[in-house]
Amino acid sequence: MERLSKTIKAAGKTIGFVPTMGFLHEGHMSLVRAARQENDVCVVSIFVNPTQFGPSEDFDSYPRDFQKDKKMLAEEKVDVVFCPTVKEMYPNVTLSQTPPDIIPPKNLTACLCGAFRPTHFQGVAQVVDIFFHRVKPDRAYFGQKDFQQTVIIKWLARKAHLNIDIRVLPTIRESDGLAMSSRNVYLKPKERKRVIILFQALQLAKELYENGERNPQRIERKISNLISQNFLTSRNQEMKLQYAEIRDAETLQSIHEIKHPAVVAVAAIIGKTRLIDNIVLG
Which are the contacts of 9, defined by CB distance < 8 A and separation ≥ 6? Answer: 15, 136
What is the C-alpha to C-alpha distance for residues 1 and 136, in angstroms, rounded to an integer?
9
Phi, psi values for residue 166, rounded to 5°: -90, 115
Q: Known catalytic residue: 28? A: yes
> 3-42: which residues touch ligand PAF (CB under 6 A)?
19-21
Radius of gyration of the chain (CA): 19
Q: What x/- string results for residues 152 through 191 when contact with ligand PAF is judged by CB under 6 A?
A: ----------------------------------------
Nearer to ligand PAF, 1 or 255 (CB): 1
Residue 51 sits in the site that holds ligand PAF (CB under 6 A) = no
Residue 128 sits in the site that holds ligand PAF (CB under 6 A) = yes
For residue 36, count other CB atoms closer than 10 A to its CB: 18
Residue 49 sits in the site that holds ligand PAF (CB under 6 A) = yes
Q: Burial code of 58-96, b = ≥16 C-beta within 10 A, e = fewer?
A: eeeebeeeeeebbebbeeeebbbbbebeeeebbeeeeee
Residue 277 sits in the site that holds ligand PAF (CB under 6 A) = no
Residue from the set 125, 127, 219, 275 that interacts with ligand PAF by CB under 6 A:
127
Residue 72 sits in the site that holds ligand PAF (CB under 6 A) = no
Length of the chain: 282
Q: What x/- string results for residues 226 through 255 when contact with ligand PAF is judged by CB under 6 A?
A: ------------------------------
Nearer to ligand PAF, 5 or 20 (CB): 20
Residue 124 sits in the site that holds ligand PAF (CB under 6 A) = yes
**Residue positions annotated with a catalytic role:** 28
Q: Which residues bind ligand PAF (CB under 6 A)?
A: 19-21, 49, 52, 124, 127-128, 146, 149
